[in-house]
Amino acid sequence: MKLRIFIILSLLFVTILPTNAQKYACVNTDYVLRSIPDYANAQKRLDKYVTDWQKELSDKLTELDNMRAEYEQESYLLPDNLKKRRRDEIAAKEQEIKSLQAQRFGPGGDLDKRRAELLKPVQDRVYSTIERIAHEKNYAFVFDKSGSATLLFANKKYDISDEVLEQLGYKPGINEAEKQAAASEQQKKPSNPEMRRRDNKVQDTPLRPMKNK
């Protein structure tokens, strides 16, 4: 199936491009970015923000769990007016957590803002360098082959990833920045199953409805 798709795409290129076939190249932007120390350091700072925000939400979820547990234990002793007050307090805490989740991790939230602040400047430098190389060498197309299912084959001699790094002032090849980034990613994953459950709860689990007694 992949071979058939590749042949179709090849025929399309032959049909679309003029007889003096235009030049093209590919680049692995993931590899380029991982090889830049500034990007690795920015990713570490972003990871620290995420860890702090997750802990903040986890602490508030623990407070909510405690409020619910206390209410369920004491509700049969409380008069109706105090029951209502406690339920209102729990509902307010639920809304506070939902709002905080949206503020930290929602579209246009703190995570998006920090990502733009920390990572985008390095990304812009990379893409500007790619554009400059494309103009200098008269490439009509530059494909990004990092994690993309649309690029089925790329000849190494047309891969300009190392050239991009060299023009940015970095030595090509696996370097310490990539090793540190991989180690940082591994450290982010909690080894304790209970911690993994709590992390998933913060971001993925909807708030539980309160029993109305």
- Cα of first residue to Cα of last residue in the chain, in angstroms, is 60
Tokens 């060498």: give the residue: 137
CA distance 138 to 132: 10
- Give me the pLDDT at residue 187, please: 54
Q: Give the pLDDT confidence score for residue 138 in this predicted structure.
A: 84
- pLDDT beyond 60 at 174: no
Is the pLDDT reported for residue 139 higher than 60?
Answer: yes
| pLDDT digit string, tens, across residues 54-85 | 999 999 999 999 999 999 998 888 899 999 99
Question: How far apart (Å, rounded) are the C-alpha atoms in residues 133 and 127?
Answer: 10
Model-level pTM greater than 0.85?
no
For the cut 50, the answer to whether the pLDDT of residue 34 exceeds it is: yes
Phi, psi of 17, rounded to the nearest 5 degrees: -75, 150
pLDDT at position 124 is 92
Residues 6+ apart with CB under 8 A from 193: none
pLDDT for 77-128, tens place per residue? 889 999 999 999 999 999 999 999 999 999 999 999 999 999 999 999 998 8
**Comparing C-alpha atoms, which of 149, 145, 184, 175 is closest to residue 42?**
184
pLDDT band of residue 12 (cuts 50, 70, 90) is: very low
Q: 10-14, 21-25, 76-80: which has the minimum mean pLDDT?
A: 10-14
| The residue count for the chain | 213
Phi-psi region of 55 (alpha: psi -120 to 50; beta: other; left: phi over 0): alpha
**Among the listed ranges 141-155, 161-175, 176-190, which one has the minimum average pLDDT value?**
176-190
Domain ranges of the chain: 25-203
Give the pLDDT band of residue 154 (cuts 50, 70, 90).
low
- d(CA 64, CA 94) in angstroms, rounded, equals 7
* Residue 144: per-residue pLDDT: 83
Over the Cα atoms of the chain, what is R_g? 26
pLDDT of residue 54: 97
More confident residue, 149 or 91: 91
